[in-house]
């Protein structure tokens, strides 16, 4: 089966305690960063901003390119058998979380209209992270700072 290449833009959004905002995807149930696939005619920044707004309702104040992931670690097979390879552009993002958290101070209040996110949270065990995004979280934990990651 041929593999399609999917270019994605994602956001690393941290709160004031350093926790990273994650979402549980409705399409395949894994946890990962807010973000998604580029549409024709978009820049990668526009993709990331649109996806964050659609999936979290958050307005982005500032962003800076953090890393680009390519290579064999970015191969993924969806539950339906479709095989893809991601080229993942990730941005460090500053967004206003002040009015968006529920009383537990760790879950974002938002229901996206496309039902892409089942739940948004800021503190998830790495074992529950989507297999393609695990390298991102390992790199974040280990402090790897190179822009291009294979």
Portion of the chain with pLDDT greater than 90, in percent: 36
pTM, two decimals, is 0.84
Tell me the pLDDT tens digit for each residue of 43-98. Answer: 999 999 999 998 888 889 999 999 999 999 899 888 888 899 999 999 999 987 76
Residue 22 forms beta bridges with which residues? 121
Residue 139 CA, chain-centre distance (Å), reads: 14
Q: What confidence score (pLDDT) does residue 77 get?
A: 87
pLDDT at 123: 64
pLDDT of 129 strictly over 60:
yes
Could you name the CATH architecture of 4-149?
Alpha-Beta Complex (3.90)
Q: How far apart are CA 99 and CA 89, in angstroms?
A: 28
Exposed e or buried b per residue across 31-59, where buried means at least 16 C-beta atoms within 10 angstroms of its C-beta: bbbbbbebeeeeebeebbbbbbeebbbbe
* Segments making up each domain of the chain, as ranges: 4-149
Question: pLDDT over 70 for what percent of the chain?
Answer: 80
Check whether 111 has a pLDDT greater than 80. no
């Amino acid at each position: 089966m041929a593999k399609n290449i999917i270019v994605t833009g994602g956001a690393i959004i941290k709160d004031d305690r350093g926790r990273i905002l994650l979402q549980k995807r409705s399409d395949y149930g894994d946890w990962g960063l807010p973000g998604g696939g580029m549409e024709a005619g978009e820049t990668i920044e526009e993709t990331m901003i649109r996806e964050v707004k659609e999936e979290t309702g958050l307005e982005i104040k500032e962003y800076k390119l953090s890393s680009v992931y390519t290579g064999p670690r970015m191969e993924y097979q969806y539950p339906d058998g479709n095989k893809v390879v991601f080229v993942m552009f990730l941005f460090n993002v500053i967004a206003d979380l002040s009015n968006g958290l529920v009383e537990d101070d760790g879950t974002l209040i938002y229901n996206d209209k496309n039902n892409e996110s089942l739940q948004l949270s800021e503190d998830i065990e790495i074992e529950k992270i989507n297999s393609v995004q695990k390298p991102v979280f390992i790199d974040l934990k280990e402090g790897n700072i190179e822009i291009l990651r294979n």
